[in-house]
Structure 1
Amino acid sequence: MDLEGKEERIVAEVQDPFGLIRVLEIGDYRFLEFGEAIEQSCTFIADPSWLEYDYTRAMFLGALCHPAPETALFLGLGAGTLTQACLKFLVLEDVEVIELRPDVPRLAMEHMGLVDDPRLTIRIGDALELLHSAETADLIFLDLYTDQGPAAGHLAWAFLEQCQQRLNPGGWLVINQWASNDGKPLGAALLRGLYHRHYWECPVKEGNVILFIPADLEQQFEPQAVRQRAEALAPHLGYSLLPLLDSVRGAT
């Protein structure tokens, strides 16, 4: 993505009780921002299911831990690019999104290419309060960020425990976690204790660490099976997930 010298255009701007939401267009891309220039999501206008950043590609890689997911739950929508990719490239039957700010899905649909798919249900509210009423799922994606950084849920023991408990047997929880200065995920000590060190990490160049957490201790990360799924999807995605797969490590 080369945006040097490209003109910046404000497409939409909304003030809600949580602050400012802005959609910017630069060249072939649109960006969803919270607050003062805090980028949340990036959409390639020509293909809203294209995952531009490594952290979203790594989260999609986490979805490939499951051999045949039918249901997915997204905690936090952003521009919806990861949701779009999962709807397009996975054989999902039902997808639920919980998003705090009502203007986010509206802006995503009006300006970021999010499609109103019949398999997609969006609920507005706080994921920490609504998670208990969500359907269980094969895949759960946790990506709750504000203009100040990760929301409280990323370090809330009871909530993170509940996320794992909402997984169907064989399911996977995928968390977009900030990285600390030592390269470990934010809250590493809490995560190790909560999940019994039984999870895998995928560090990405944006400075985040994506976590792959199975539903139970019997499940293992199977790199060869994930590799085969990634290789099969590469011609459709237009990029390879294998460099990210090669960086996956055990819990630190």
Structure 2
Amino acid sequence: MNFFTPERIEKTRALVRDGKPFVFDDGDMRTLHFNEQVVQSAMRLSAPDELVIPYTQAMAGFLSMHPAPQHILMIGLGGGSLVKYCYRHFPSARITVLESNADVLALRDQFMIPADDARLHVLHVDAIAHMQKLAVGSVDVIMLDGFDAKGAPAALRSHEFFFNCQFVLAERGVLITNMGDQYDNIVGTVTQGQLVFGAFHHWWFRVTTDNSHVAVAVCAIDDEASAASLRIAALDIAEQSSLELVYPKNLASE
């Protein structure tokens, strides 16, 4: 579906209000916006658990690098596409979602996100402050998809943030990041991610179908055997998900 036809842009522009999130329905499609230029999340009303936007499909693909997570930490609720996917496909996993925007949380029911229960907890907190309270090695997968009306907050691409991610991830834990298409966010995420996780445990991919970008890092011992096996797994997933490896390019030819 083309989210940016002149008619849709005109209709969504009329709903923009001081950077607050809003919902727009177009037939079977429900979308979340802060403005008329960017779709934050999309859901088919007839299939609310389906992953519609290509970057979410790519992020879900990398969950196979840790196929049986016990604790999934999500930063950014949005329209809950990844929350609903993980809730359905990982019934043994505990899912914690960190969302700082109360207005986004208020739209939860409109995107058919399950209510909190023994497995799912959606918290209205600052992500960095909350992560500092988590125990070392207590998380198997971190899915970072945190954007506001201005884009990706700089704090979520800082050295402190990536250090906190590495600290709370268990051995072979995976950090999967939606970088969008903002240059500053991509450069900051890749630079700090590789500094903290190591160049051979952090990869930058472009989603070829919509020009968004995804980064993947694995918390693992930095040795040749580990790097080789992780490289093969990452590139296999990328091939299945129509992703182009952007950096480090040399991994594709070794």
TM interval, shorter chain, is 0.7 to 0.9
Q: How do 1:44-193 and structure 2 match up within 5 A?
A: 44-109=44-109, 111-116=110-115, 118=117, 119-134=119-134, 136-179=138-181, 185-187=186-188, 188-193=190-195
Aligned residue identity for 1:152: A
State the 1:250 CA deviation. Answer: 5.2
Corresponding residue number in structure 2 for 1:29: 29
- Equivalent pairs, count: 234
TM-score, reference length from structure 1:
0.79
Residues 246/175 of structure 1: CA separation in 2 closer, same or farther (3 Å cut): closer
Q: Distance in 2 between matches of 1:250 and 1:68?
A: 27
Contact 1:200 1:251 in 2 (8 A): yes
Which structure carries more strand by proportion?
Answer: 1
Aligned residue identity for 2:206: P
Q: Deviations over 1:11-56 (max 9, x none)?
A: xx797xx831100001211111114553211111112211111111
Corresponding residue number in structure 2 for 1:244: 241
Q: Which runs of 5+ in 2 are unaligned?
A: 250-254
Moved over 6 A (4+): 3-10
Q: Distance in 1 between matches of 2:207 and 2:234?
A: 21
Aligned-residue CA RMSD in angstroms? 3.2
State the 1:191 CA deviation. Answer: 3.2
Q: How do 1:189-200 and structure 2 match up within 5 A?
A: 189-197=191-199, 198-200=201-203
Q: Deviations over 1:82-114 (max 9, x none)?
A: 1111111224331000000123233122x1111
Aligned residue identity for 2:83: T
Among residues 201, 205, 216, which one is paired with 1:202 in the alignment? 205
Which structure carries more helix by proportion?
Answer: 2
Q: Which runs of 5+ in 1 are unaligned?
A: 231-240
Name the % identity: 25
TM-score, reference length from structure 2:
0.78
Q: Distance in 1 between matches of 2:198 and 2:107?
A: 39
Q: Distance in 2 between matches of 1:225 and 1:212?
A: 8
Aligned residue identity for 2:76: G
